[in-house]
Structures are given as structure tokens and as C-alpha cells.
Chain A
Amino acid sequence: MAAIYSLYIINKSGGLIFYKDYGSKGRMDTNDSLRVASLWHSMHAISQQLSPTTGCSGIELLEADTFDLHCFQSLTGTKFFVVCEPGTQHMEALLKVIYELYTDYVLKNPFYEMEMPIRCELFDVNLTQAIQKDRVVLLGR
């Protein structure tokens, strides 16, 4: 069924601060996930340069043969992107939910250092719940 394969969060400089794989055969080790994240950060910036009109804010959706990649960029430059099955609906809404969880459980955490990898248990717990809920809703249809 439609499901997400993995989630990445990158800070405004392009460094990976969170990576979670939800059961794909293409699970990557740490080094590769770091490289992929910074590559995405650069591609996102270059795509703004190639826009034929002004006001481009970067790639929001990338469609490939075996997956789709949805990206959400917050006003501060933090990017959230999910790799999911082709044609999955409502990923933008899920990304906004994840952004809310990030602001609540990560940014408001007094022990969290900005731009550093996320190690907040409450964030992990609530994130898993949000993703599972998304799955259940989709399967229930």
C-alpha cells in the first residue's frame, strides 16, 4: 500500500540532522545518507537558479521511476523530505505535521543545540505515531 520509505531532515547549511528509514531495501549507511542529504541541498539551490520566472523556492516534488520525493522547506531554511511510493497522496500535509512535531519536540527542547543531529526521544515517539496513523488511514480507505 502507499507508504513512505524514508524521512530526512536537513539544516539550513545542508547537513543531515535526522534520517529514518521505514523499511526499504535501499536503506543507507550513515555516510551515504549524509552525502545524499548534502547533494539534495545543492540540487534544491541550483533548481532555483534555473527558474524561468522569479520567485522560485526550490524543488517540491521529484518523480522518479520507483519513488517520489516530496520536499518541504521551512521559512528558516530547514528542509524536510520524504521518499515514498510513486503517486502517494497528501505527503505535503504529512510534511507539515512533521514540521509541527519538530517545532514542538525539538526546537522547544532546551537541551537541543541548533543545527545538530536530533536526539529527542519524544520527537521519535510522536513521529512514529504520526506515520503509523497516516498508514492506517490509507489502508482503511
Chain B
Amino acid sequence: MQFFGGSEISPSPPVPTATGNNAHMMYVFNRNGVCLLYREWNRPLHTLNPQQDHKLMFGLLFSLKSLTAKMDPTSADKGNLGVPQLPGQGCSFHSFRTNTYKLSFMETPSGIKIILVTHPRTGDLREPLKYIYNLYVEYVAKNPLYTPGTSIRCELFNTALDQYVRSIA
């Protein structure tokens, strides 16, 4: 398994796009941890450089999924902590909130992880994330020029995404 593809695959952060967008940023990862897309609309603080930031985000999600699968109070027999979970196996989280941001997460059966970081008082974003996944399917997966596992460079997807996120945040 190829984890964390080299720097030529991870995209560098783009110039912040449309102003007036309330969402902070968005990540899309594939099942190997390669960051397919990173959109930034409103991020005053950059703690790490982009590659480290993507790896840290993926690592956090991987560990949180492992934690929720182990902590699940409704199932008696769980695997050991740290064993990689298949998409859909075990209890998974769909969002967490801190005092400065709310992170909403969705994983598809194919291992595509969509993460949206918004302000803390945002409501449940599971349906919007499903819609964003549909946008991904229409504009990226069905794009004959797109190679799976590489970073997403589809103008139509970016435009549709910006428009949609502006309407939900």
C-alpha cells in the first residue's frame, strides 16, 4: 500500500478563493492517505506546512476511527485498538466540535474521505457531505481525463463545490 504519496501528488494550497464563504477548509483523501483535494476559503492560522498538515489530518482521522470503533458501547466484541478498520466496519464518527471549529467527516465504501471544517455552530452536515460526494462522482469520477489516486484538478468540480459550500455554511 502506498501511503502518503510524494509531494508531486499532494496539491499545494491554492490562493483563497471566493470571499464571503463561511466554511474554513475542505479535504478529500483516498483510502491510501493521499490528499486528493485541499480547498481553503478562510484560514487565518497555518500551523504546519501543507504536506505535514495533510498527514496530520489523515492521521487524526485514522486514529479517531480506531478509537470510536473500540469505544463503541453497543457492541461487545471488538478488535484490538489500532487495527485498521475497513470502510463501514465498526462504529465511525461523523463530526467533532471544538471551541473554534467543527469538523464533519464522511467516508464512502470506496475509502474516499471527505472532511469539511466550518465554524462551531454549524448543524449536522451529513446530508451536505453526501451531496458533495455526488458532486465528486459527477465531476471527478466520471471525468475520463481524471486518474484515480491523483490530485483533483477539475475546474467544474471546484466551481460547483464553492457554490454549494457557500450555500450551506
Contacts and interface: CB of A to CB of B under 8 A. Distances in A.
A in complex with B: yes
Interface of A: 5-6, 24-26, 28, 32, 35-36, 39-40, 42-43, 46-67, 69, 83
Contacts of B56: 46, 49-50
A117 B100 CA distance: 32
Contact of B72 (A26, A35, A42, A62): A26
Contacts of A25: 73-76
B73 A54 contact: no
5 contacts: A26-B76, A47-B96, A51-B47, A55-B99, A66-B74
Interface size class on chain B is 35 or more
Interface in B78-121: 78, 81, 91-101, 103, 117
Given A36-B67, A39-B63, A57-B99, A65 B94 contact: yes
Given A46-B56, A49-B56, A62-B96, A6 B73 contact: yes
Given A35-B81, A36-B70, A83-B73, A54 B44 contact: yes
Contacts of B156: none
Given A25-B75, A36-B70, A83-B71, A54 B91 contact: no
Contacts of A63: 93-97
Contacts, number: 127
Contact of B96 (A42, A61, A66): A61
A26 B70 CA distance: 8
Greatest chain A CB density within 10 A among B60, B67, B94 is at B67
Contacts of B76: 25-26
B81 A52 contact: no
Contacts of B67: 36, 39-40, 43
B46 to A, nearest CB: 9
A52 B60 contact: no
Interface string B48-82: 10000100110110011011101111111010010
Greatest chain B CB density within 10 A among A6, A32, A43 is at A43
Contacts of A67: 68, 71-74, 91
B78 A56 contact: no
Contacts of A60: 97-99
A40 B76 CA distance: 20
Given A52-B43, A64-B92, A64-B93, A26 B98 contact: no
A10 B68 CA distance: 18
A66 B25 CA distance: 27
A6 B71 CA distance: 10
Contact of B44 (A6, A52, A59, A65): A52
Contacts of A65: 91-94
What 6 A-B pairs have minimum CB-CB distances, sorted nearest first?
A24-B73, A5-B73, A52-B24, A64-B93, A52-B43, A26-B73
